[in-house]
Amino acid sequence: MARSRMILPAHDPACRRLFHADRLTAEGHRIALEIWLRATGREREGTRVVVFRCRRCAGFHVARKRKVPKPDVVGPPAGLSEADEPNLIMGL
Ligand SMILES: [Zn+2]
C-alpha cells in the first residue's frame, strides 16, 4: 500500500522542540512567537524565527536562526545611477 511507504510526521521526544504535523500550524506558531518575542523585548538583533522540516520526525519545528548578512543589500545597486532615477519615478 502506498500509505505504508509514506513517512508520516510523528512526535519524537528526542527533537526537544514543539512538534507540528503540518507547515500551516507551524507558521501560526512562528508568527505568534515573533509577536511574543517582540512584545516581551526578547527579540534579538540579527536573528529571526523560522519554520523548518525535521529529518528526524518528519514534522515541522520552529527555531531561531541567525540572519545571514547580505553585503549586496547595503546601499543602492552599483548599476543604479542618478540618471536612471527619473525613469523609475515615471514607472510608478
Ligand atoms: Zn523533529
Cell of 87: 525613469
CA 56–ligand 1 middle distance (angstroms): 5
74, part of any domain: no
pTM above 0.85, yes or no: no
- H/E stretch holding 26 reads helix 23-39
What is the distance in A from the centroid of ligand 1 to the CA of 48? 19
| Ligand 1 centroid – CA 85 distance (Å) | 49
- Summarised one tens digit per residue, pLDDT across range 54-70 is 999 999 999 999 887 76
Give distance in angstroms: CA of 46 to centre of ligand 1. 24
Tell me the residue length of the chain. Answer: 92
Structural domain containing residue 16: 10-69
The three three-digit cell numbers of residue 34, written as one number: 515573533
In the reported structure, the alpha carbon of residue 71 is separated from the centroid of ligand 1 by a whole-number distance in angstroms of 33
Q: Is the pLDDT of residue 32 over 60?
A: yes
Count of domains forming the chain: 1
Residue 4, in any domain of the structure: no
